[in-house]
Amino acid sequence: MQPICGLTFAPFARRGRFATPAAKESLRRMRERTAANFVIFVPGGRQQTPQSEAIAFADEVAMADEELIEMIRYAKSLGLRVAVKPTVNCMNGTWRAHISFFEEDVPCEPKWGNWFRSYTDFQLHYAKIAQAEGVEMFIAGCEMVMSEHREQEWRRLIGDIRRVYAGPVTYNTDKYQEHNVRWWDCVDWICSNGYYPTGDWERQLDRIQQVVERYQKPFFFAETGCMSVAGSPQVPNDWTVRGPVDLDCQTAWLEEMLTACEKRDWVRGMCFWSWRADLYPEAEAAQNGDYEMYAKPVEAVIRRHYQKMQEGTR
């Protein structure tokens, strides 16, 4: 099985962002500079609050279908395998993991059933595009932690996706949640976010391994990464960390993560977060404290590891 050596490209890109020569050039550089063989595109959906029932994804803000299709085709022309991961965000800034409703339906209150109908429409819209364009994987959302206990709704959604998309289907749970999802049997892969603190990778991989062995499914990290600011390796999931730019701490965190994963043959790959559609000038890399790896020392680390994985020398 070919390993997943990937990155997430321009997540939640708004209308017009993909429809530029610069975006295609950025994707080409990503492929060339990191040796990636896999890319995740993340069309964004939006709901007003965590208790809103309606998800918008086809208005003037959203990425146009034609843009996504053109970028899928361009990625394939570069030799990249493609995954599409439609992901919803709350417009009031609340993290999507907190989307939740009463367990029992109450008159005049928002309901799980209404939300899942809207979420299903959102997912199926992109699943049909994925099928038409021969996309290699469909990821039915990300970090929907407070909804994951709604097992029957998720099973129904996965079944609905399979009726319009013939490829592998998975779902991207959040860090620390792998053992809480009870419906991994109905998807083709298990995947999660690998934002674990420095010094804790072995313990977390031990825990995840139990889940993988229980369900006998292939596994990869659909997101992983660390910002290049001091303090980020201790809380790599926290994008609000502010401090002096520290390229070395980002590199050390990735080296630790990759070394730990190399020892586990059930980790079939990872996708780093993230690569921009509009690249900053290379000379400014040393002042960039975000997750991006373009022109930073960590870029070479990823390239070396990805080449090693694809050469089968792990």
Q: List pLDDT tens digits, range 268-296.
A: 999 999 999 999 999 999 999 999 999 99
Radius of gyration of the chain (CA): 19
| Percent of all residues in the chain with a pLDDT value above 70, rounded to a whole number | 99
Is the pTM above the cut of 0.95? yes
Q: pLDDT per residue over 125-166, tens digit each?
A: 999 999 999 999 999 999 999 999 999 999 999 999 999 999
Q: Mean pLDDT throughout 33-51?
A: 98
Collect contacts of 56-63 with beta carbons under 8 A, ≥24 apart: 57/86, 57/122, 57/125, 58/125, 60/15, 61/14, 61/15, 62/14, 62/15, 63/13, 63/14, 63/15, 63/17, 63/18
Structural domains of the chain ordered from first start: 4-226+267-286 (3.20.20.80)
Q: Mean pLDDT throughout 23-48?
A: 98
pLDDT at 35 over 90: yes
Query: What is the H or E stretch that residue 99 is in?
Result: none
The reported pLDDT for the residue numbered 1 is: 79
Q: Mean pLDDT throughout 63-79?
A: 98
Q: Mean pLDDT throughout 59-79?
A: 96
In 3-state terms, what secondary structure has residue 229?
Answer: strand
Six token digits for residue 237 = 């999931």
Q: pLDDT per residue over 185-195, tens digit each?
A: 999 999 999 99
The reported pLDDT for the residue numbered 313 is: 46
CA distances for 195 relative to 80, 205, 240, angstroms: 24, 12, 14
* pLDDT mean across residues, the chain: 97
